[in-house]
Structure 1
Amino acid sequence: MAALVLVNGKIVTVDEQFSIGQAVAIEGERITAVGEDAAVLARAAPDARVVDLGGRTVIPGLIDNHNHFVRATEHAEVRLDGVRTRAAALDLLARRAAGLGDGQWLLTLGGWHEEQWAGDRRELTLAELDAVAPGRPAFIQAQYDHASVNTAWLDAMNVPAPDGLRATGRVGGGLVALNRAAAGFPAGGTREAGVRAAMAYCNSLGLTTVFDPGGVGVSDAAYAAVQSMAGRGELTLRVLTTLGAEVDEPAGRFAEKVRASNPFQGDHWYDRIAVGEIYHAPFHWDHGGRPPAPAASDIAAATEILTTAAITGWPVQTHSVTTGGLALVLDAYGQADKLRPIRPLRWSVTHAEGITPEQIERARRLGVTVQLRSQSVIRDSRATVAPLKLLQDSGLTWGLGTDGTRAAQINPFISLWWAVTGRSLGGTQILDEPLTREEALIAHTRSNAQLVFRENYLGSIRPGLLADLLVLDRDYLTVPDDEIKDIRPSATIAGGTVVYGSL
């Protein structure tokens, strides 16, 4: 019998029929019934807690298929996801700085860009950051593009007085330089405190599951902290991870790691489910307009790794952005498929902005899945715009993610708004063919559950599935388009437990 029953609501199940119910019953960590109020109440235990939703909308917990969550646990930071003006950003930074303890730094490590602001889009200045965080080091990173710093940060990093950085307060150099700088910052607390803070932020946005594709420079200790907390039942966010290689790791050594380990050894809270997103960077690593140019030895190295993964039954996820890079990856996937069919392993390409109709068809025939990102929502550019409608109409399995936490924002309602309206936060129309609200929600729930091998547990509101639900502060299906990005959960439920807000 159900111990918790939510009634008098709009239960958007996101099942195969996209059916709508009035009530949902939960026993332990599972959903036991969905339907009309009377029928669901009949499943309630005598002492069940019955919550009147007052007509509020409930949707499945949202899943991000590309979220570098573990990296975000290593430093306490202020998130600027979705902040719409320069003044609002400075105000938020000032308020957070005032609440920091002794020795804590004011950090924002990506997830936003000045192009998301309306009006004044000037970069933050050294003088402004001196004012919002007097005497406290401040490092405010915009995406992987640049960072603005203050005098206290320059002093803490021992930047010499004649250095031009002291005049501009601007740190450039892209991904490598910015990650190198962040590696030297204080953690600002214990690792477990960092995990709790990062989970709380994700839960407050409506995220209940993230697929973390690894990334260069993330410490083993950071993963160990998350795994340890999972073992003690202390996670409020389901975290799925990958087996990835460092940029310069020899292919033979990484192939041996693949042979020596197995996927799916965890549980529903923490599990390692794929090889990737990096396994041999010279073969597949690319950016918009910059396809990879692997040597023959690099192609051979990637082939060794992919062959090993196929034979040993590992799913694979590959970072691939450009049309040329995707051609290389699909060629290599095709070779591996001859040794063992990869369709059951759901090998994927992640990002895939340059994918063509011919490549979509080739991927569909191989059983390759696609993980798209909403990164372009924070920039007024079509350079990283994913072909959502093309994939939606293809019959290929695909899902929606972000590529947060540094390269992109991670609020799933901003991603849903972007997919439905086609606009960037800065106001530019960057998608010619947006999705319907139903299509977008499926891509962030049920489709992503399939991409991470959890379709029998997550992604919709059905009896027998894990009770990951959001009670929303407004109706996703009927609010004006521009309000979708502003939706917040009144309550986030993971495994039948309220992990954010209240009922």
Structure 2
Amino acid sequence: MNIRAKVMLVFAALAGLLLPGRLAAQAPDLILHNGKVLTVDSNFSIAQAVAITGNKISAVGTDQEVLATAGPDTEKIDLKGRTVTPGLVDTHRHMYSYSEGAYGGNFTPEELRRFPVDWRAVRTKDDVLNQVRGVMERYKFQPGEWIYLVNAVSFMSNDASPLALATILYDELNQWELDKVTPDNPVLMSLGIPDFNGFLLNKKAMDWVMANHGDFVLKNGRFWVDAAGRPDGHLEPPASRIVLPYTYDRKPEILGQIYQKDMAEASTMGLTSVSSRMPKDALAAYRMLESQGKLTYRIGYGVIEAFGNVDLSKSNLKSIASQVGQGTEKIWMTGTGPTAIDGASSRQCTDQKRSGTYTPIDGWFPSGQCHTDIEYRGAVRRAAPIQANYFADWIMASGRDGVRFANTHTAGDRANANMITFMEKLQAQYGKDSTKNWALDHCGMVNPKDFPRMAKVGVTVSCYVQLSVNGAANMARAYGEEVANTFPSPLGSMLKAGVKVVLESDSNSFLWEDIEKAVTRKDASGRVWGPQEKVDRPTALRMITRWAGDYFLKGDQIGSVEKGKFADLVVLDKDYMTVPEEDIGSIRPQLTIFDGKAVFVHPSFSAEYDLKPAGALITTYEDLVKTRKPRSGATTGG
């Protein structure tokens, strides 16, 4: 190297040393101080101030320590003693389907590719067929075009003779009846249960399924048969997954507008990370919003297309395994969300004997849906015999190939027990890491005898405690007081047994109400169910922040207020640690910061601080709810 080159290298090195960033750390963009910062770190430390630089937390500590890092352009907000928490992390929330249900009324059935059948006035089979005929005449479909009919019907209340409606949908309607009014198009009709879990097909659609996938369906099911033993058009997973792609082909530009409205509601409650299984069209819409800078929560998604549409005898799941944990800072794959392992309410897969009425359609699913049992217990009068259990084969293949199992409805005690048995088999055959980070969602019914097994295999359990507590009275009528006080979302007992537990909503609920239920276990009437299952406030907050971050596979980046983590924070109007426990659900965030930027400011907080950040929403949760315009025929859940 000549002298000139050496001199140039010296000058380059000196220039690097003299850059402002080398002389001092970059000054924060924002400092929140004079607050009560519940960091939810490993010690549940309480700080006074937090600094944000870019999209990361750059300092946490006392006012003196954090304010000392400020620069001339650092914005400072005196919280006047207000409480700060990490952004909430919901481990199971069907945000795409709930937003379509709540706001889809702003768009036409053609735009949403959802054509509703309203069962509120239905009294006979012909009432349904006349509505379907009207849909076909109104929308002028092209011959051969796939059509998805969604049912506006609830079988879970007594408002509209649900047993009579179930008789029409499950018994009287079949592929041949539906074909009478839809002869030129393959048609799917939802079964009034979550979209992923069942369809009624007309003859044209059923003929296509059997012509292209008949061997798979006859081997793996699940389908219902008529008195003559013929497939009658009612499909459940994995067979129903074959036609699923024809229901999720909407435009991201349409879906994105709907999803933004749900994200606005999420921001008003301090929700900054959401986990859900995700169909391709919904994922495309969220990725579009991310590219436009409009995404206001992080998404951990479970891919659904790997179940039912994959012939395990011809391929493996290793390509899916390689994608787990991969993505961007705002959207990444958390695993697979295949389908519901069982049903809900009277469709839960349970070993408990039902002695009373749970739902008006108990008779249709006397023992629940046990998809992981080859002797399928759901719809026992109508289920076709099958040669193999795709559910069991798929679960074992997932562990073998290193695919993470999560984002999946597993509600009943037998469903949970069966999954633990699969995990035990996989760990014995392939090692403990074969089921690393596996999770079971909902814990609607968990048998206490299974707690030690759950702890031993290391499974994480995600619990919809609000739904469990509010539904405990129904469970008591069906299964007795002992079951109702010990099986639904048994948070405290599972934690004592060493089980990893997190909180979920499985709804579009206001999340502080879910947290309240975890602490109080009180239903709407004020009755406490399972008092031994209460958790204290720090634990409840950990379950929906720090521990939930681990469910997302991003515990090192989200879920607590610590230096280096993403700046996802919430400023509250009440002190979470001291507000009366029955008022936790009334907490209202005043400021939500996502990825370092304010995405929501409560009007009163905005007025007090004259704070109107660019792009931030200034409204209230209550005002947003008033703007909902539901889509007719919305179905959600699972």
Q: TM-score range by the shorter chain?
A: 0.7 to 0.9
Which residue of the partner structure matches residue 418 of structure 2? 328
Do the aligned partners of 1:251 and 1:304 also contact (CA within 8 Å) in 2?
no
Rg (Cα) greater in structure: 2
Q: Which runs of 5+ in 1 are unaligned?
A: 79-99, 105-123, 127-138, 150-171
Which residue of the partner structure matches residue 41 of structure 1? 67
Please report how far the alpha carbon of residue 198 of structure 1 lies from its aligned counterpart in structure 2 after TM superposition: 1.1
* Distance in 2 of aligned mates of 1:26 and 1:426: 43
Which residue of the partner structure matches residue 439 of structure 1? 539
More helix by share: 2
* Distance in 2 of aligned mates of 1:489 and 1:222: 28
2:124 matched to 1:21?
A: no
Which residue of the partner structure matches residue 290 of structure 2? 230
* Distance in 1 of aligned mates of 2:342 and 2:490: 24
* Distance in 2 of aligned mates of 1:221 and 1:440: 34
Which residue of the partner structure matches residue 574 of structure 2? 474
Please report how far the alpha carbon of residue 199 of structure 1 lies from its aligned counterpart in structure 2 after TM superposition: 0.7
* Distance in 2 of aligned mates of 1:301 and 1:492: 44
Identity among equivalent pairs (%): 27
Which residue of the partner structure matches residue 131 of structure 2? none
Which residue of the partner structure matches residue 271 of structure 1? 332
Please report how far the alpha carbon of residue 125 of structure 1 lies from its aligned counterpart in structure 2 after TM superposition: 11
Which residue of the partner structure matches residue 347 of structure 1? 438
Which residue of the partner structure matches residue 428 of structure 1? 527
2:265 matched to 1:201?
A: yes
Please report how far the alpha carbon of residue 148 of structure 1 lies from its aligned counterpart in structure 2 after TM superposition: 7.7
Do the aligned partners of 1:310 and 1:340 also contact (CA within 8 Å) in 2?
no
Which residue of the partner structure matches residue 316 of structure 1? 405
**What amino acid is the match of 1:175?**
I
* Of 34-43 and 308-317, the range deviating more from structure 2: 308-317
**What amino acid is the match of 1:203?**
S
Corresponding residue to 1:190 among 239, 250, 254: 254
Q: Which runs of 5+ in 2 are unaligned?
A: 1-26, 110-119, 123-149, 161-189, 201-246, 353-367, 376-385, 476-486, 612-638
* Distance in 2 of aligned mates of 1:176 and 1:353: 16
**What amino acid is the match of 1:71?**
S
* Distance in 2 of aligned mates of 1:356 and 1:194: 39
Corresponding residue to 1:307 among 396, 399, 417: 396
Matches within 5 A, 1:286-305: 286-287=348-349, 290=368, 292=370, 294-295=373-374, 300-305=389-394
2:461 matched to 1:370?
A: yes
* Distance in 1 of aligned mates of 2:541 and 2:153: 28
* Distance in 2 of aligned mates of 1:47 and 1:141: 55
* Distance in 2 of aligned mates of 1:202 and 1:385: 26
Q: Describe the SS at the equivalent of 1:439.
A: helix
Which residue of the partner structure matches residue 388 of structure 1? 491
* Distance in 2 of aligned mates of 1:473 and 1:142: 39
* Distance in 1 of aligned mates of 2:257 and 2:560: 31
Which residue of the partner structure matches residue 497 of structure 1? 597
Do the aligned partners of 1:291 and 1:323 also contact (CA within 8 Å) in 2?
no
Kindly report the root-mean-square deviation, in angstroms, between the aligned alpha carbons of the 2 structures: 3.8
Do the aligned partners of 1:146 and 1:174 also contact (CA within 8 Å) in 2?
no
Q: Describe the SS at the equivalent of 1:404.
A: coil
Please report how far the alpha carbon of residue 291 of structure 1 lies from its aligned counterpart in structure 2 after TM superposition: 5.6
Corresponding residue to 2:587 among 479, 487, 494: 487
Q: TM-score, normalised by structure 1?
A: 0.74
Which residue of the partner structure matches residue 504 of structure 2? 401
Do the aligned partners of 1:69 and 1:198 also contact (CA within 8 Å) in 2?
yes
Q: Describe the SS at the equivalent of 2:598.
A: strand
**What amino acid is the match of 1:269?**
K
Please report how far the alpha carbon of residue 418 of structure 1 lies from its aligned counterpart in structure 2 after TM superposition: 0.5
Please report how far the alpha carbon of residue 336 of structure 1 lies from its aligned counterpart in structure 2 after TM superposition: 1.9
Q: TM-score, normalised by structure 2?
A: 0.59
Q: 1:102 to 1:464 in 2, by over 3 A?
A: closer
Q: 1:418 to 1:254 in 2, by over 3 A?
A: farther
Q: 1:255 to 1:394 in 2, by over 3 A?
A: farther
Which residue of the partner structure matches residue 145 of structure 1? 156
Do the aligned partners of 1:315 and 1:345 also contact (CA within 8 Å) in 2?
yes
**What amino acid is the match of 2:496?**
D
Query: Over residues 348-390 of structure 1, what are the superposed CA-to-partner deviations in whole Å (9 max), with x where a residue is unaligned?
Result: 1112233234422112211211111121344452637210111
Q: 1:190 to 1:345 in 2, by over 3 A?
A: same
Q: Describe the SS at the equivalent of 2:268.
A: helix
Matches within 5 A, 1:68-107: 68-77=94-103
2:319 matched to 1:260?
A: yes
Please report how far the alpha carbon of residue 146 of structure 1 lies from its aligned counterpart in structure 2 after TM superposition: 5.3
* Distance in 1 of aligned mates of 2:401 and 2:96: 26
Q: 1:324 to 1:437 in 2, by over 3 A?
A: same
Please report how far the alpha carbon of residue 459 of structure 1 lies from its aligned counterpart in structure 2 after TM superposition: 0.8
Q: 1:56 to 1:372 in 2, by over 3 A?
A: same
